[in-house]
Amino acid sequence: MCGIYGFIGEGKVEDLVNGLKKLEYRGYDSAGIAFLKSKNLIVEKRTGKVDALRSLMNGRLEERINAGIAHTRWATHGMPTDINAHPQMDCTKKIAVVHNGIIENFATLRDALTSEGHIFVSQTDTEVIAHLIEKYFRGDLFEAVRVATLDLEGTYAIGVIHADIEDEVIFARRKSPLVIAANDFGTYCASDVTPLISVSRDVVFLEDGQIARLKRNKFEIFENSGKPVENHFYHINWDEKSAEKGGYKHFMMKEIHEEPRVISDALVGRIKDGKVIFEEIKDWNEYIKNIRKINVIACGTSFHAGLVFKYFLERLRPFDVEVEVSSEFRYRNVFVDDRVLNIAISQSGETADTLESVRLVKSLGGKVLAISNVVGSTLTREADRTLYINAGPEISVASTKAYIGQITVLYLLAIYMDQLMGGNHSEMVINLTKLPEIVDNFILTQEDSIKSIADKYVGYTNFMYIGRGINYPSALEGALKLKEISYTNAVGYQAGELKHGPIALLDEKFPVMAIVVDDELKDKMISNVLETKARNAQVVAIVSASDRKVSSLVNDVIRVPDLESYLYPFVVGIALQLFAYNVANDRNLNIDMPRNLAKSVTVE
């Protein structure tokens, strides 16, 4: 959460603002910059989105600067106000700090610093870092930051600049990501790779406890003991264009339209002669053959992808798969041994609770397989093995293409595991390869009709999503999408649970989104739909293209292609993304940056 960008080298004020703009999806309560110009430290910040900061800097954007740091905030300590916006400064106003994360001992530190005479002006935890650096500064900024970080408890990625030190900018990290890239114009650091793609495709990720000293022509990384470390470069093959809207009104819609390509890219190089191959884990074949239990750990949409995996794998063979949200898993007394496989799913690879769950598993001697989209992210570096989904950067806060990429890879993984245990699923493999075209055609042909249905339901403030079996996770995911971008109270339920309580909510003002595709549980779903109709609820049903049974029973239908039943999560998932998008768009909401949310949740 929150975004950090900074550089030292040839640049102008606008470069800081543009860098931040590419990180805005990380948090957008307020934004600010600090830069050095003719030996002066200038700090400007403003509540609101990066464009508010751009307006504030209007007329000064072209000013040449030698170094600067910038921040877009997702508030944790203190309301989103100009004063609480970053950068935060020390008493001398010579040190400016931007910070992602939470300083857990900030109150103790603030009390101690106050008693030493420091004066605080904000409610942020970040301000203690600026005063601590002031306390330890003896002319060497790197050393002051290094010593200050030793006093900090909690999580941080920080960028620090000092009015009197013109030739360096310092960055430090603990459990909150930072990436460094360099080119002929300077050296750059950011909280994710998105603003660095235009700098260089070869980047270095800071590790926990490390501190980087950025100079115009080089950068050096050290442990917090002061010991230098060798730089390890990762190559990023993301396309710069993929971080732009490409003619769509919102990134979310662009990313939905990328889904056919995302499925193909997730399959590339992983299918041969009707079989799934995973070079990344082939040395684990013996281990996989012997596993008895799988723990799947994830949050939000990634958690829903994990649930789809459970249902799909269980179709292939009975298997003990437990899917748990990371924020619960990490505090449980979990069972882990060498016959348990732990799968951590995270688009960003930076979700704090998922990382802590991984650390728990590893401390118990367990093995972790990561499913992620971000090369070099913390998860991929801490896990034992990683399967990338290769979806390209996902900018919209609401996850869409990453979900489709995750379930594609998870289907392959389930088939791969079952192959190792003796199964043969060449027909399934062939069906997966046909999906990109089916999905492309589905989006093109059904987009408008889904929009019309969304237009009709835009006035409702509640929605109940129901499904069964492998389509139950789709109900949860559809409800999450509607909730997070349209602010509609949407709940997802197993259809069979309705009569155990939630049905009490239903009436003509509380519509139902029912997933009633042609599968083994269709008749059971129809009974549930009739129960909701009997309570006067309006029902939108997602049905298979050839269905003739359900359409006459409900108010509206969304038709998805006729498919093998295990493939419905792909098209149902996309239909529900389009529905949520159109409801939010009709309400004229900020779809890519919904209120109170941020793209990667790097705080616990």
What residues act catalytically?
A: 2, 599
C-alpha–C-alpha distance, residues 25 and 204, integer Å: 22
In contact, 33 and 69? CB cutoff 8 Å: yes
Q: Which two tokens stand for residue 584?
A: 């939010």
CB nearer to ligand M6R: give 122 or 378.
378
Closest CA to 573 of 370, 426, 398, 343: 398
Inter-residue contact 53 to 45 (CB < 8 Å): yes
Q: Is the dihedral of CA 125, 128, 133, 136 positive or negative?
A: negative
Going by the DSSP 8-state scheme, the letter that residue 444 receives in this structure is H
- Of the candidates 354, 372, 358, 368, the residue with the CA atom closest to the CA atom of residue 409: 372
Q: Give, as one character, the DSSP assignment of residue 189.
A: E
Main-chain dihedrals φ then ψ at residue 357, nearest 5 degrees: -65, -40
Q: Spell out where 512-569 has E strands.
A: 512-515, 539-544, 556-560
Residue 379's closest CA among 157, 194, 602?
602
Nearer to ligand M6R, 1 or 13 (CB): 1
Q: Which helix (H) or strand (E) holds 483?
A: helix 472-486
Q: How far apart are CA 388 and CA 375, in angstroms?
A: 8
Plot region of 497 (φ>0 → left; ψ -120 to 50 → alpha; else → beta) = alpha
> Does residue 89 contact residue 44 with C-beta atoms inside 8 Å?
no
Interface residue list for ligand M6R (CB under 6 A): 299-302, 346-348, 351, 354, 397-399, 480, 484, 597, 600-601
Helix axes 401-420, 259-267, angle to 10 degrees: 30
DSSP 211: E
**Residues for the chain: how many in total?**
604
**What distance in Å separates the CA atoms of residue 525 and residue 471, rounded to the nearest whole number?**
11
Q: At how many degrees (to 10) do helices 300-316 and 472-486 cross?
A: 170
The HSE-up count of residue 579 (CA atoms within 13 Å, CB side) is: 32
SS (H, E, C) 100-131: ECCECCHHHHHHHHHHCCCCCCCCCCHHHHHH
**Residues contacting residue 385 through CB under 8 Å, at least 6 positions apart:** 280, 281, 284, 367, 368, 369, 370
Beta bridge partners of 272: 275
* Residue 39: count of CB within 10 angstroms of its CB: 8
Cα 258 from Cα 130, distance rounded (Å): 43
Kindly tell me the burial class for residue 246, based on how many C-beta atoms sit within 10 Å of its own C-beta (0-12, 13-18, 19 or more).
exposed
Is-contact 479 507, C-beta < 8 A? no
Q: Give the CA distances from residue 210 to residues 135, 217, 287, in Å, rounded to whole numbers and listed in that order.
A: 21, 20, 34
Cis peptide leading into residue 393 (ω within 30°): no
